[in-house]
Amino acid sequence: MSEALLALEAEVRDDLAKTSHPSASWLKPKAGLDEQPALDVLIVGGGQSGLAMAFGLRRSQVTNILIIDKAEEGREGPWLSYARMHTLRSPKDYTGPDLDVPSLTYQSWHEARFGKADWDALDLIPRELWAEYLLWFRRAVGLTVRNGCELLEIAPAAGGLLAATVAHEGTTGILYARKIVLATGQEAMGNWTIPEPLRHLPPAQVARPSDDINFKALAGRTVAVIGAGASAFDNAAMALEAGAAEVHLLCRRAEIQVIQPYRWLTFRGFLRHFCDLDDEWRWRFMRAILELREGFPQATYDRCARFSNFHLHQGSPVEAAREKGEKIELQTPRGVVQAHFVISGAGTEIDFAERGELKNFAGNIATWADRYQPPADERNPLLGRYPYLADDYALTERVAGATPWISNVHLFAFASTMSFGPSGSSINAMTTAIPKLVYGLTRGLFRADIERYWDSFRAYDVPQAVIPAKSGR
Ligand SMILES: Cc1cc2nc3c(=O)[nH]c(=O)nc-3n(C[C@H](O)[C@H](O)[C@H](O)COP(=O)(O)OP(=O)(O)OC[C@H]3O[C@@H](n4cnc5c(N)ncnc54)[C@H](O)[C@@H]3O)c2cc1C
């Protein structure tokens, strides 16, 4: 490691030591059924969110925690797999998992790694460097992740604990925890959508953006990409760069969406206090924002538009699809598009049944549709499926009392968005959303042990001053 990075790590240690107050440990481990101390918090997902919340918990002296991730070390999150853009889309100065500690920011790492002039000249952050930074961050703050460890199931256990069944190194085991946070990313509560008209097509000819697509095999072929968000464009660009004969991008709207609503909402009032609004306002804002969907940056568009064999079809939702020889024929209101291969870039969809680890309680997770009925002109059944979260990001019950233990299962992922606005799965929200999550977790841990704290206070007898007995009286 370079001198500059070593110096930066020393600065990090110094900054953390100077801001560690109050540093007293305050939690007492509870024993699980295996007689081992149960974790205070089990974090599922070692992407940027899992790392940032672990860091936040450690700064609150919650140290009996574990992060697990099914991916191997360095492959957490989408950055080195299905993220197919060259750079992050968010501006380089958005802070993230550093939680406002200057020496832990991406900028500090970049300047130590490449020099200040390089940072000044940088336009957007290359995604490979973001992945490298996250690995450095994890080491610099001393976090360990148990990689290759997958959460399979969550169930209640004795003593108010949760039992997480995990698969690791070919065996399954149980981890006991007081709280579990699902930091499982974009598809935490569902999956990438395949639009209904495409669902009956041969799986070999239809892919999701999260699939390991063999773009080389698309050379000389015709490709259709459904959707006009940033990921759709990235996949179209990959096919074009791999030598596809034609790439057709089918945009549902009459005119493609070029506004980026996430830029508008990037101010502290919205990011911090959106979750404090009543249901009416939360629904109104998030419905409008999510229906607009994220716009794409100029560079994303230009990466496709420089190819003359790229065709953008606006006003072209897919109405029907059928096999025609070795091609797929896609029917749109503006005519038929034929393609050998279709990539669905239509975003993610909430469907609890898609996630095995939710199986013991999926049917009792309260959704927005269970809790709020919007006015007729604001209805959206797909958004009604989002989980309706408590103010500490905990899942809430559809039928009270059927699975009360899910109040200790917290969700910090894209699916938290309807309740919290940008929060999980968003770099620009981490600086406000992670402290709120940590606050909710520590509040729950503290309240649950209030009698022990009362007893501890009553037994406290450490004198702060010594009064000598007066002699001669
Ligand atoms: C293609 C793409 C590009 C993006 N670009 C940007 C951008 O430029 N700027 C921005 O602000 N945001 C961007 N985002 C949004 C967001 O920042 C990313 O999705 C980011 O990865 C979210 O971090 P996370 O830690 O919440 O989830 P992830 O990084 O997805 O991490 C989740 C982790 O959970 C693990 N996991 C899942 N299920 C289990 C299980 N059952 N057991 C154990 N481990 C499990 C996964 O292996 C994964 O490593 C992008 C998202 C995508 C998909």
The pLDDT tens digits for 121-175 are: 999 999 999 999 999 999 999 999 999 999 999 999 999 999 999 999 999 999 9
Closest C-alpha to ligand 1, atom 20: 425
Tokens for 127, please give them: 């995604």
Tokens for 140, please give them: 């610099």
Residue 293, pLDDT score? 79
Residue 240, pLDDT score? 98
Tokens for 111, please give them: 């300047």
Are the CB atoms for 81 and 212 separated by under 8 Å?
yes
How close is the Cα of 85 to the center of ligand 1, in Å? 14
Q: How far apart are CA 305 and CA 186, in angstroms?
A: 27
Characterize the bridge pairing of strands 149-156 and 162-168. antiparallel
How close is the Cα of 47 to the center of ligand 1, in Å? 6
Determine the atom of ligand 1 nearest the C-alpha atom of 152: 41
Determine the atom of ligand 1 nearest the C-alpha atom of 186: 19
How close is the Cα of 89 to the center of ligand 1, in Å? 14
Residue 286, pLDDT score? 97
Determine the atom of ligand 1 nearest the C-alpha atom of 412: 26
Determine the atom of ligand 1 nearest the C-alpha atom of 428: 11
Residue of 70, 213, 266 best suited for mutating to test ligand 1, as the one with most atoms within 8 Å of CB? 70
Distance of alpha carbon 250 from the chain centroid = 27
Residue 341, pLDDT score? 98
Q: Is the CB of 154 under 6 A from ligand 1?
A: no
Residue 74, pLDDT score? 96
How close is the Cα of 394 to the center of ligand 1, in Å? 19
Q: Is the CB of 150 under 6 A from ligand 1?
A: yes
Q: Is the CB of 70 under 6 A from ligand 1?
A: yes
Q: Is the CB of 357 under 6 A from ligand 1?
A: yes
For the chain, 473 residues long, give each residue's pLDDT as a single digit of tens: 799 999 999 999 999 999 999 999 999 999 998 889 999 999 999 999 999 999 999 999 999 999 999 999 999 999 999 999 999 999 999 999 999 999 999 999 999 999 999 999 999 999 999 999 999 999 999 999 999 999 999 999 999 999 999 999 999 999 999 999 999 999 999 999 999 999 999 999 999 999 999 999 999 999 999 999 999 999 999 999 999 999 999 999 999 999 999 999 999 999 999 999 999 999 999 999 999 877 789 999 999 999 999 999 999 999 999 999 999 999 999 999 999 999 999 899 999 999 999 999 999 999 999 999 999 999 999 999 999 999 999 999 999 999 999 999 999 999 999 999 999 988 999 999 999 999 999 999 999 999 999 999 999 999 999 999 886 55
Are the CB atoms for 251 and 313 separated by under 8 Å?
yes
Tokens for 334, please give them: 């503006």
Residues of the chain by 3-state class (helix, strand, coil), percent to 5: 40, 20, 40
How close is the Cα of 128 to the center of ligand 1, in Å? 14
| Residue partners of 300: CB distance under 8 A and separation at least 6 | 85, 89, 230, 233, 234, 237
Closest C-alpha to ligand 1, atom 29: 77
* SS3 category, 144: coil
Q: Is the CB of 96 under 6 A from ligand 1?
A: no
Would you mind telling me the total number of residues written for the chain in this entry?
A: 473
* Consecutive H or E run containing 173: strand 171-182
How close is the Cα of 16 to the center of ligand 1, in Å? 26
Residue 94, pLDDT score? 95
Q: How far apart are CA 42 and CA 50, in angstroms?
A: 10
Q: Is the CB of 425 under 6 A from ligand 1?
A: yes
Q: Is the CB of 48 under 6 A from ligand 1?
A: yes
| Residue partners of 116: CB distance under 8 A and separation at least 6 | none
Residue 470, pLDDT score? 81
Determine the atom of ligand 1 nearest the C-alpha atom of 149: 43
Are the CB atoms for 233 and 304 separated by under 8 Å?
yes
Single pTM value for the model: 0.97
Q: Is the CB of 77 under 6 A from ligand 1?
A: yes
Residue 471, pLDDT score? 61
Q: Is the CB of 76 under 6 A from ligand 1?
A: yes
Residue of 42, 76, 265 best suited for mutating to test ligand 1, as the one with most atoms within 8 Å of CB? 76
How close is the Cα of 320 to the center of ligand 1, in Å? 32
Closest C-alpha to ligand 1, atom 44: 69
- Mean pLDDT over all residues of the chain? 96
Q: Is the CB of 424 under 6 A from ligand 1?
A: yes
How close is the Cα of 449 to the center of ligand 1, in Å? 33
| Residue partners of 285: CB distance under 8 A and separation at least 6 | 274, 277, 421
Backbone angles phi, psi at 128, to 5 degrees: -65, -35
Determine the atom of ligand 1 nearest the C-alpha atom of 77: 29
Residue 473, pLDDT score? 52
Closest C-alpha to ligand 1, atom 33: 45
Closest C-alpha to ligand 1, atom 12: 426
